[in-house]
A = this chain, B = another copy of it.
Amino acid sequence: MTKRKFLGEFEQVVLLAVIRMAGDGYGMAIRREIEERTGRGVSIGAIYATLERLEAKGYVGSRSGSPSPERGGRARRHFAISAEGRTALQRSRDMLGSMWDGVDLEQPDSEGQEVA
């Protein structure tokens, strides 16, 4: 179990959704947030699997919501980011950022070396 230094692509997305929901996010809502914000369709299974992994790594914590919500349906499981989660996100952002630094996608490579 070599500890990975950077978050996976989807892990980043999910973790950001968790932050956005300010500790009140839960599976279905997190999914909605991602879909609305990015237009990316995601299955519910993908969300939970990722959340599960993030929790195993200590990047998020979860607590189950009030047992009897006034609305029917099963209790929610709320997720909140941890300090380590924040750090991990920062690390990933900075790493990617350093690769993006100075890159301009509109322009072809300085030398015009593009390929078909």
Contacts and interface: CB of A to CB of B under 8 A. Distances in A.
Interface of A: 5-9, 12-13, 16-17, 19-20, 22-24, 34, 37-40, 60-61, 80-83, 86, 89-90, 92-93, 95-96, 98-100, 103, 105, 109-116
Contacts of A19: 103, 109
B8 A114 contact: no
> Which of the listed residues A7, A23, A60, A82 has the most CB atoms from chain B within 10 Å of its own CB?
A23
A96 B13 contact: yes
B114 A5 contact: no
A5 to B, nearest CB: 7
Contacts of A99: 12-13, 16-17, 20, 34, 37-38
